[in-house]
A = this chain, B = another copy of it.
Amino acid sequence: MNLDLSLYLVLDPVQCGGHARALEVTRAALDGGATIVQLRAPEWHKRAWLELALDLLPLTRRHGVPLIINDHIDVALAAGADGVHVGQNDLPPDIARKLLGPQALIGLSVSNAQQVDHANPLGAMIDYVGVGPVFDTPTKPDASAACGIDGLAALCARSLHPTVAIGGIQLHNAADVKRAGPGGIAVVSAICTAADPRLAALRLLESS
């Protein structure tokens, strides 16, 4: 599936307000131009992840947009999702690739130059890196220290992989983040908690 990181929705169904509302938010975000969707529900058991992923796939497929599963390779396999996103403490990318096959999209979180240097030689083992957090965010209390706009620019320049910036990105800072040169921006609350998620996606995509 085609990889376009321009506007990466990290869908937190708890932030959205549950399964049904997460579907509505996704439908609206896709109408607004979201180019890739990741399901991330750390508070949920896997059966609820699976049920939501199975309901999301018809929506993302209709838009030709990949559905990525955070962390849980088994959920991705069970749902037939398009790939996974793994962090530095999750199962390593080579195992994700082995379990999911050559067609899967695999993303890896990187937070500093050392992690970028470890990711670079992975080549086609991974499809992109998520760079951040750009700003501190209450969503992930266990996240690494924020790299800021200048740090983001340095890490994106250093990476040999396509990059997507993540962490605290909102409409008011999206243009600054984009000028740092990532391949796209990833947002959670900026869309999940927006009163009008379609408009939020549209504005995030157009901000420059």
Give the interface centre of A47, A50, A91, A95 by most chain B CB atoms within 10 Å: A91
Interface residues of A in 41-76 (CB under 8 A from B): 45-48, 50, 71-75
Interface residues of A in 75-92 (CB under 8 A from B): 75, 77-78, 87-92
Total interface residues on A, CB under 8 Å, equals 20
Copies in the complex: 2
Instruction: Render A18-58 as a binary contact track against B, CB cut-off 8 A, 1 for contact.
Output: 00000000000000000000000000011110100000000
Instruction: Render A83-121 as a binary contact track against B, CB cut-off 8 A, 1 for contact.
Output: 000011111100100010000000000000000000000
The contact of A45 among B46, B48, B90, by CB within 8 Å, is B90
Main secondary structure, interface of A, reads helix
Contact A78 B50 (CB under 8 A): no
Q: Which residues of B contact A47 (CB under 8 A)?
A: 88-92
Contact A50 B91 (CB under 8 A): yes
Interface residues of A in 119-173 (CB under 8 A from B): none
Contact A71 B95 (CB under 8 A): no
Q: Which residues of B contact A78 (CB under 8 A)?
A: 91, 95, 99
Residue of B nearest to A91 (CB): B46
What are 12 sample pairs from A and B whose C-beta atoms fall under 8 A apart? A45-B87, A46-B71, A46-B91, A47-B90, A48-B89, A73-B74, A73-B77, A74-B95, A74-B99, A77-B99, A78-B91, A78-B99
Contact A91 B71 (CB under 8 A): no
Q: Which residues of B contact A77 (CB under 8 A)?
A: 73-74, 99
Q: Which residues of B contact A87 (CB under 8 A)?
A: 45
Q: Which residues of B contact A48 (CB under 8 A)?
A: 89
